[in-house]
């Protein structure tokens, strides 16, 4: 039993679920262990579909990170706010670091890079780039968002324009079309929002309608998000199995790459002015996310709480 508790403490949920299925661990932990494994793997589609043995409070917390799989779902989860998702990402990174799974650290860092701009736009949009609500903010007089005829005056490439145009009508698609958009084009729309935020030299009403101070803040946050995404820390993915190569970076290589990225972030007043937070395996990574979001983004305790619940079941 001590071995099983150690696996739970290390968040080795996949191993625990397999042991339960094979009869080498109590069957009562299987459903909870599978739930924890989904969280650790960031399998967000299934966060809201858990075994009845998983406490409701844990499922509800996970639903905040779930992406709706149909356009008309009432609860918007990660499309309502991306902040809970980034708190879970930080906890996932910390767990992978403790287990010396550097490939997992790099993969989570790359996921953060793809969605970080959403944190910058969330205070402006009132949601996390939810396609069901984007038209209310983007389909307005003077907007060139997703308008191909305005491409000569817009900084978006044709690919970005096409993705933005789709985002404004995908809420009327059947569930299959909605999921196809999320899989293939949503991150492209996020790139387009980054361009709108600080790169466009002829901004349309999407940005021009904002107060001057709000435009400046949005631009600063989008620049900081881009600095993180283009940095050496995120580029490590191209040398890992989750990317395009065959090697996994060492702990020293990860910290060195983050050190170089952090020095680049230090050039931005937004990052320098953000208060330092608690100690974290990748120093000041939560600080970078918080600076982009404009609110504190700290590691969640969801995995730790799943671990504690499993240990309680084992001891019972």
pLDDT digits (tens, 9 = 90+) for 141-198: 999 999 987 567 889 999 999 999 999 999 999 999 999 999 999 999 999 999 999 9
Q: Confirm if 110 and 234 have CB atoms less than 8 A apart.
A: yes
Three-state DSSP state, 24: coil
What does the pLDDT average to over 21-47?
89
What does the pLDDT average to over 251-270?
97
- Structure confidence by residue, pLDDT tens digits, 267-297: 999 999 999 999 999 999 999 999 999 999 9
What is the per-residue pLDDT for 316? 85
Please give the Cα distance from 270 to 204 (Å, whole number): 25
pLDDT category at 126 given cuts 50, 70, 90 is very high
What is the per-residue pLDDT for 243? 46
Q: Which of 149, 124, 151, 152 is nearest to 138 (CA)?
A: 124
For residue 213, the 8-state DSSP code is: H
* 202, two tokens: 């002829």
Please give the Cα distance from 186 to 188 (Å, whole number): 5
| Sequence-separated (6 or more) residues with CB below 8 Å from residue 254 | 102, 105, 106, 233, 236, 282
pLDDT category at 245 given cuts 50, 70, 90 is very low
Rg (CA), the chain: 21
* 281, two tokens: 């395996």
Q: Confirm if 102 and 294 have CB atoms less than 8 A apart.
A: no
Please give the Cα distance from 312 to 38 (Å, whole number): 20
Please give the Cα distance from 224 to 292 (Å, whole number): 7
What's the CA angle centered on 229, arms 69 and 231, to 5 degrees?
Answer: 155
CB-based burial, 294-315: b 16+ in 10 Å, e otherwise: beebbbbebbeebbebbbebbe
- The pLDDT mean for the chain works out to 93
Please give the Cα distance from 107 to 67 (Å, whole number): 19
| Sequence-separated (6 or more) residues with CB below 8 Å from residue 113 | 228, 229, 234
| Sequence-separated (6 or more) residues with CB below 8 Å from residue 105 | 93, 96, 97, 254, 282
pLDDT over 60 (residue 46): yes
Write phi, then psi, for 201 (nearest 5 degrees). -90, -15
Three-state DSSP state, 13: helix
Cα distance between the two ends of the chain: 11
For residue 243, the 8-state DSSP code is: T
What does the pLDDT average to over 15-30?
94
Q: Which of 316, 311, 302, 309 is nearest to 53 (CA)?
A: 309
pLDDT category at 239 given cuts 50, 70, 90 is low
| Sequence-separated (6 or more) residues with CB below 8 Å from residue 49 | none
Please give the Cα distance from 90 to 301 (Å, whole number): 10
């Amino acid at each position: 039993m001590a071995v099983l508790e150690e696996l739970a403490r290390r968040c080795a949920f996949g191993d625990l679920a397999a042991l339960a299925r094979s009869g080498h661990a109590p069957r009562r932990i299987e459903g909870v262990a599978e739930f924890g494994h989904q969280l650790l793997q960031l399998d967000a589609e299934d966060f809201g579909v858990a075994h009845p043995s998983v406490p409701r409070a844990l499922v509800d917390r996970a639903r905040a990170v779930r992406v709706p799989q149909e356009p008309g779902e009432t609860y918007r989860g990660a499309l309502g706010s991306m902040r809970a998702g980034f708190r879970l990402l930080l906890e996932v990174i910390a767990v992978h670091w403790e287990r010396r799974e550097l490939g997992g650290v790099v993969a989570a860092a790359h996921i953060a890079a793809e969605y970080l701009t959403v944190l910058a736009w969330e205070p402006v949009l009132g949601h996390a780039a939810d396609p069901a609500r984007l038209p209310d903010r983007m389909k307005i007089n003077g907007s060139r968002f997703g308008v191909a005829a305005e491409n000569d005056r817009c900084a978006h490439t044709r690919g970005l324009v096409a993705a933005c145009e789709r985002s404004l009508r995908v809420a009327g698609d059947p569930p299959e079309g909605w999921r196809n958009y999320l899989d293939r084009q949503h991150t492209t729309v996020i790139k387009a929002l980054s361009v709108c935020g600080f790169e466009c030299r002829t901004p349309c009403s999407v940005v021009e309608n904002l107060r001057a101070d709000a435009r400046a803040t949005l631009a600063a946050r989008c620049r900081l998000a881009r600095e993180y995404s283009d940095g050496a820390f995120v580029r490590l993915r191209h040398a890992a199995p989750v990317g395009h190569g065959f090697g996994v970076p060492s702990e020293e290589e990860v910290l060195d790459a983050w050190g170089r990225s952090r020095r680049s972030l230090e050039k931005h007043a937004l990052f320098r002015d953000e208060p330092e937070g608690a100690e974290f395996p990748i120093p000041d990574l939560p600080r970078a996310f918080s600076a982009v979001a404009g609110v504190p983004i700290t590691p969640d305790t969801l995995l730790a709480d799943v671990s504690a619940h499993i240990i309680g079941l084992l001891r019972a």
